[in-house]
Amino acid sequence: MKLYLKRDFFAEKEHLLAEEGELRATAFRFSTGVEALKIENSRGYFVILPFQGQQLWDFHFADRDLKMVTTIKEPKPTGDFLETYGGFLYHCGVLCMGVPDDKHPHHGELPNHPFDEAYLEIGCDETGSYIAVGGSVTNRVAFTHAYRFSPRCRLDSGATTVTVDVKVENLRSDPMEYMYLCHINFRPMDGARLIDSVPRDKEHIKVHRVIPESLPETSKQALRSYMDELENDPTVMDRVGAEGQCYLPEICFTLRYATDRDHRGYTLQYLPGKGGCYVSHPTDVLPYGIRWISRTSHEDAMGMVLPATAEHLGYDYAKEQGQIKYLDANSSVSFSLELGFLTEKEVKPILFKIESLLREEAVSKSIERKKQATNK
């Protein structure tokens, strides 16, 4: 069953829109006027903005508030990224993503783009019953570009993770440049460990040494010193909340993943004995993992991986570095991510998979070094 949504379905008072077994969809408006759907099962819920970028605004599973802490408590009906930056997941792109420049807004046009259509879907397939929210937006500029962006977020019965599907279509009869970043903003869990299929060396982890001029000199020096530590030993960031860490106001990293045969990379913020936050993403389409950590008195965010087509430094940088992707005429690209929270039992096979991938990567590198030595 698929129900196409209209803005007048939403009122200030919450009301049940659809229900099937443990799956429920509740419609409401924030006090700011932004339409929202609360999608829930027996183990938690997410709140999505169907007509404003299809952002996931809230994310709560396994009795945990999982989204970052910010001072922005409700979404605002604005296209300005930072004015309404309080959500859990933002789609970023398509013409650009990352830092703003003279031609592109912060993280591109997608994060708060008004959607042309949105729908609610309830169904059952070989994996069981599910509830999903999706939609599409078409962006056209004469003689320049025309594309359709179509995301879909699915929650299964009994699940604590969601599947986010994305499709980008080039609607013109000439090739189109595109960029994409999935901005996933978990909440830090002090005492947790960051575990992922990224080897801990400079080849696979890059620290972006960006220090705001507005910081006091003592804060600048603290940030420089900590960045020096990270460059010498990336494992110092692996224990969340460890003494001596400095993410005021933020640090960004570029991660390059060791992947499995399905071209998937895996990331955990794991709290031993209690489970952890989880992301699996496709490295063939999204080869860059951007890690963004911010810990201030007003913001607390663990962007443990923002899967992306390029680094986060804007269009011109990506163009210079050969990181822009292309869609052929009248073609499309589709991919999916899985993210959420895993219990201690559910996290074990992911830990094993990550250990296996890192071990395979180390063996491969060792063989390559021996070949190079022999050739010399």
- Which tokens hold the place of 131? 């509830």
Q: What is the DSSP string of 74-117?
A: S--S-S-TGGG---SEEEEEES--BS--SSS-TTBSSTTPBPSE
Specify the DSSP class assigned to residue 187. Answer: P
d(CA 23, CA 17): 11
Residue 281's φ and ψ, nearest 5 degrees, are -135, 160
Q: What percentage of residues in the chain have a pLDDT greater than 70?
A: 100
Q: For the chain, which residues score pLDDT lower than 70?
A: 376
Instruction: Give the model confidence (pLDDT) of 9-24 as tens digits.
Output: 999 899 999 999 999 9
The pLDDT of residue 376 is 65
The pLDDT of residue 59 is 98
- Confidence (pTM): 0.96
Instruction: Give the model confidence (pLDDT) of 252-298 as tens digits.
Output: 999 999 999 999 999 999 999 999 999 999 999 999 999 999 999 99
Residues in the chain: 376
d(CA 253, CA 64): 26
Return the amino acid letter for 42: S
d(CA 60, CA 37): 14
d(CA 166, CA 338): 12
Nearest by Cα to 347 from 240, 273, 239: 273
Instruction: Give the model confidence (pLDDT) of 121-139 as tens digits.
Output: 999 999 999 999 999 999 9
